[in-house]
Amino acid sequence: MRIQVDAEKCQGHARCFALAPEVFDVDDYGQSSAKNGGVVPSGLEDKVRLAIDNCPEYAISEIPE
């Protein structure tokens, strides 16, 4: 599973960071980014799907294989 965070859409709600801190990083301005080039470590897929489903700005998306 590979994901990306749209920096233009992200407004720093930080819901992704709360749900999956292993996968997302948030800077001091609230900007979220995907760690590890967006590659989700195996076993964390469900958490990441939860993060996608809870982003109020629809800023996170899965990159098709």
3 state SS of 65 = coil
Determine, following the binding rule CB under 8 A, whether residue 1 of this chain makes contact with another protein: no
Q: Choose between 10 and 40: whose C-beta lies nearer to another protein.
A: 10
Q: Choose between 7 and 39: whose C-beta lies nearer to another protein.
A: 7
Determine, following the binding rule CB under 8 A, whether residue 3 of this chain makes contact with another protein: no
Instruction: Output the DSSP codes for 1-64.
Output: -EEEE-TTT--S--HHHHH-TTTEEE-TT--EEESGGGBPPTT-HHHHHHHHHH-TT--EEEEP
> For another protein, which residue of 1, 2, 4, 14 counts as binding (CB under 8 A)?
14
- Segment 16-45, which members bind another protein (CB under 8 A)? 17-18, 26-30
